[in-house]
Chain A
Amino acid sequence: MEYPILSYLIFLPLIGVFALFFLDHTKEKLLKGVALLITLIEFVLSLPLFFMFQVENGGMQFTEYLSWVPRLGIAYRVGLDGLSLWLVLLTTFLSCIAVLACWEDIKQHVKEFLVCILLMETGMVGVFVALDVFLFYVFWEVMLIPMYFIIGVWGNPARRIYAAIKFVLFTMVGSLLMLVAILYIYFYHANVTGEYTFDLLKWYNLTIPHSVQTWLFLAFGLAFAIKVPMFPFHTWLPDAHTEAPTVGSVLLAAVLLKMGTYGFLRYNLPLFPEAFVSFVPLISLLAVIGIIYGALVAMVQADVKRLVAFSSVSHLGFVMLGLFTLNLQGIQGGIIQMINHGLSTGALFLIVGMIYERRHTRMIVEFGGLSKVMPIYATLFMIVTLSSIGLPGLNGFVGEFLILLGAFRSQFTNVIFVVFAATGVILAAVYMLWMFQRVMFGEVTNPNNKNLPDLSKREIMVLVPVVIFIIWIGVYPKPFLKPMEATVNSMIKRVEQRVNVKTVQEGKVSFKALKVVESQGEQGA
């Protein structure tokens, strides 16, 4: 691999932005066409990442280095491993979908909107591949600005400003604390090794005292927990999702939330392993609360989009539970669930957006009986709903199963968490199917719904690729699981080396010991 593929991915959207500046802002179709072309090229460019990825290699691949501010140890360092591989591919894939989806939706300030989308793409890819902490922070903050405009300018007029400001403030609070922590580690590294550097891979070799780790974990963790969002920091999410335009919600749910979970794996786990282990009970508890709480609150929502937003809280609870199991199945499940959530929730927002474009409302009571009027829409909606419910054969199940299995056998979490978390599987069926029934089944009672057109060719083209991946991951997840295995194993190994706890193997021994006790009891009786 000789050409700098990751840099192409980061900077191609910026070239697209540059190109857009020179185009007439009244020629909407042309603008959208150019943006679509750029995102499509970007997606095609990102595919070699998958094909050339060395499955057995748990370290960074496709790495690039360029000196930036050598005096401060800042450099342009990027690289990709089994964790970021999927998130980058998810980003490039969904960006194409996003541009195609905004075709009819966005009528005003089209050029500016597309610029925002492309800027977002640069930021998202950058966050996932940056290996220099300073660079990471730049991308992390850069993301905020286009998203702020997407919600604030093209959102739902009634409450868009409130939602946009809430989104920015919440994220800022977290990221400022993270900045402090970053600077602390930067100087700590200089004190210990004498080298001032923001190189993340060098930071990985630090052994920070446990008590300090706790504070640093909290500072980083808060930034990421808000982004995930974990209960009780989720309150920006329903507002941001509900008020954002469709494409904004899609990118927000599918990619931006993943930056939080990604952060936990990329920063908190390797940098603060001892603290990570000691925080397992608290985070797992919050994750399980999130699963059940999100599901229950989703159940009683009257607005479809808000319902989907709360379901995100529930799904991301599963992801967090998986990541904090600290074993292969749990973390792999967590990562694959990030992708699943990106696909299914992204698709759900697209689906809600399509009906919103037709009726300009998202209230469940306004609908009913749409299956009759829009059969193609109904079929795709059904598949995505089932994916969100976690039906075996579709993607959601693979993730949830691995997460629950990982948590069940984890040395760090308690089985009781699994017992409660798994109720999320029941509740998901309740809220999703109830919503589906009220929107799609029954007679068409509202006269406005009588003559709704079914999906156009473009809309089918938006949804079908997503649905293909939903089915693919569900039916044959092996190509998705294999590339991340080595990476996850090396993460776990790093923790096990640092933290003196029972390994998974010892765990099995202890379970056998339990059986011995049982059989002794049997003999005694």
Chain B
Amino acid sequence: MLDLIWLVPFLPLCGVIINGLLGIRFPKRLTGTIGSLTVFGSFLVSCGAFYELIQLPAAERIREVILCQWIPSGDLVVNLGFLVDPLSMVMLLTVSGVSFLIHVYSIGYMHEDEGFRRYFVYLNLFVFFMLILVAANSFLLMFVGWEGVGLCSYLLIGFWYQRQAPADAGKKAFVVNRVGDYGFLLGMMLIFVTFGSLDFLKVFPLAHQYLPYGGITATMITLLLFVGACGKSAQFPLYVWLPDAMEGPTPVSALIHAATMVTAGVYMVARCNAFYVLAPLSLGVVAIIGVGTALYAATMGLTQFDIKRVLAYSTISQLGYMFLACGAGVFAAGIFHLMTHAFFKALLFLGAGSVMHALSGELDIRKMGGLRKQLPWTHSTFLIATLAIAGIAPLAGFFSKDAILWGAFQKDSWLWLVAAITALLTALYMFRAVFMAFYGKPRLDEHVAKHVHESPPVMILPLVVLAILSVVGGWIGIPPSLGGGEWFQEFLAPVFKSAAPVAVHHQAGGLSLVGLAQAAESLGHSEELSLEWALMGVSLGVAIVGISLAYYLYLKNPEAPGKIANSFKTLYWIIFNKYYMDEIYNAIFVQPIRRGSEWLWHSVDENVIDGTANGAGRLCTGLSAILKRLQTGYVQNYAIWMLVGTVLLMAYYFFR
């Protein structure tokens, strides 16, 4: 099965080809089935490969499958191939599994849309590129997947292209991602110039030899790659495209803008862990951007009324956690959270989609309420996902988030503090959405209220599967302090092993604002254990406080939030308007570039450059206009000029 790994991305591509080129007359059911089955095939192959991989001893769980030579140009030789190791295995399973569920859900969700076939072609194409991205054996092939998923994101955000907003949002996503890709591209070149190769297996083992710890090259490479990660994974300051991306169909938001594509940046940073551990400055930047974005996005999530936008900001915030993990050097925890987040965030989005389906497209949580009884399945699964994201034990989110918080604490206690506050906000804004949508009095519009109905089984089934995963998904990574084996982290360890010794070796020199972290290091084992328990208790407590606060504010005293907002009017207004980031970008980038280009066109191109050319032409015609007067056609005039000439010539010879 391991050698057949190329089938994993290839099968969805078959779906694209069958549905795209031949499927014009296919009935919708067939199109949807082909689309879903090809992805299911990828999942099965991944499972087979996974089974084979765990049969091998831990040290040998790296297999490169090369298909052919791809771009040969002198010493640049890029092979087309796939790398199977624990990290890509986790990603392959998560991506193909979640994608399959969302494909199935989409059959129900999109069944009335006239672009049904186009939708499934794009979705399969996305899965193809995403699987290329996570299974690639070189930076260049990864970049192909990287831009490819960006393209599919563009196409799917703008799926309803006839409306202005989706088309704008798609373009914005593509362009902002391109800014990130610019960094990726330059980073990739620096890697090639330094190592003479772009293959993962050639580059990473050499990292220690070629890149001195803390050197300029290592820092530049990692920072440039992180620019790319910021674009794709919607981190500050390149996050602006993700909230707008909610214009796409909701299953797309679930798949691309929550579960898979946006996590590509985290995957890439984790993949390059061998570089990052050599660049403490970059690790610091990653951690701070991560935790900063986590908090920043959480505040915006608090004020939004559009349920999908709440989820979008929540995604940005959770991605911030994953970067925090990477920045703190606990890459496995980041990937762990990536996986559990894929389960519960996909579930949240699909749940929101189910609500929209029931309410004829209504997104505003102010116009919901009391849906618990009419939508029992949606409600219960949504609640499970919310508990998971809030970090309530023993759901999936608790373990992965806790692993990150513990890692952050060991790196620096400030990072932990900010992350813990974010956890409180997460619980608060998520339960705000739950309480406003599913509990309390119904505030539905009348025409909407008549048609409220639970979704069909084809949509409910994926919800249930994801809900189960949101509960049990974290159990594979229970820390030793709770009696678990941290099986997940151990499985991933070979990938991050090369990074580990260096990280530990230089830990003492890492940046640390308060001595608490060092204090923790000096503690004995039992004391460390109790500290870990204490922190766990804090994060659990924080989540419960957040939920209670939400209960108090949005269920018991629905007037209270308005009052609070009124007493902090300016602050509220700034946050409600998303810190005016779009307006600021518009003012400092979009408008100046546009006006500058107009100026270039009219003033420089038309006036100066074209003006010079035309001016030269006019000069010639002008001069000829003067000269042509000599050619009068009268013989007398010519005779006079001859006379003048003769006289002048004679005078010249006479007087010289």
Binding site for B on A (CB under 8 A): 166, 169-170, 232, 234-236, 293, 296-297, 299-301, 327-329, 332-333, 369, 371-372, 386, 391-393, 397-398, 401-402, 404-405, 408-409, 418-419, 422-423, 425-426, 429-430, 433-434, 437, 440-443, 476-478, 481-482, 485, 489, 508, 511, 514-515, 518-519, 521-522
Contact = CB atoms under 8 A, between A and B. Distances in A.
Interface in B368-382: none
B325 interface: no
Contacts of A476: 70
Contacts of B69: 478
Nearest to A477: B71
Given A328-B75, A408-B192, A522-B214, 6 more contacts: A296-B597, A327-B74, A422-B182, A441-B161, A482-B72, A522-B213
A437 B143 contact: no
A426 B143 contact: no
Contact of A425 (B76, B154, B182): B182
B464 interface: no
Given A422-B185, A433-B174, A329 B193 contact: no
A485 B217 contact: no
B181 to A, nearest CB: 7
Chain A interface, >50% SS class: helix
A433 B175 contact: yes
A434 B609 CA distance: 26
Contacts of A426: 175, 178-179, 182
A262 B212 CA distance: 43
A443 B181 CA distance: 31
B73 A515 contact: no
Contacts of B597: 296-297, 299-300
Contact of B161 (A371, A423, A482): A371
B178 A425 contact: yes
Contact of B171 (A166, A236, A419, A433): A433
A351 to B, nearest CB: 18
B527 interface: no
Nearest to A327: B74
A154 to B, nearest CB: 24
Q: Which of A234, A297, A508 counts the most chain B CB atoms within 10 A?
A: A297
A300 B182 contact: no
A86 B196 CA distance: 28
B534 interface: no
B512 interface: no
B151 A418 contact: no
A8 to B, nearest CB: 32
A391 B151 contact: yes
Interface stretch (B26-34, B254-262, B598-606): B598-606
Contacts of B163: 442
A397 B71 CA distance: 12
A391 B129 CA distance: 12
Most chain-B CB neighbours within 10 Å: which of A236, A328, A426, A477?
A426
B610 interface: yes
Nearest to B598: A300
Q: Please indicate which of the listed interface residues B147, B597, B610 has the most CB atoms of chain A within 10 Å of its own CB.
A: B597
A329 B161 contact: no
A441 B174 contact: no
A329 B74 CA distance: 7
A300 B175 contact: no
Nearest to A162: B614
A293 B161 CA distance: 30
Contacts of A386: 151
B194 A511 contact: yes
B35 interface: no
Contacts of B171: 433-434, 437
Interface string B178-194: 11011001100110111
16 contacts: A296-B600, A297-B597, A328-B75, A329-B74, A332-B73, A393-B147, A404-B185, A405-B76, A408-B186, A408-B193, A418-B189, A442-B163, A478-B72, A514-B217, A515-B212, A515-B217
Contact of B186 (A236, A419, A515): A419
A242 to B, nearest CB: 13
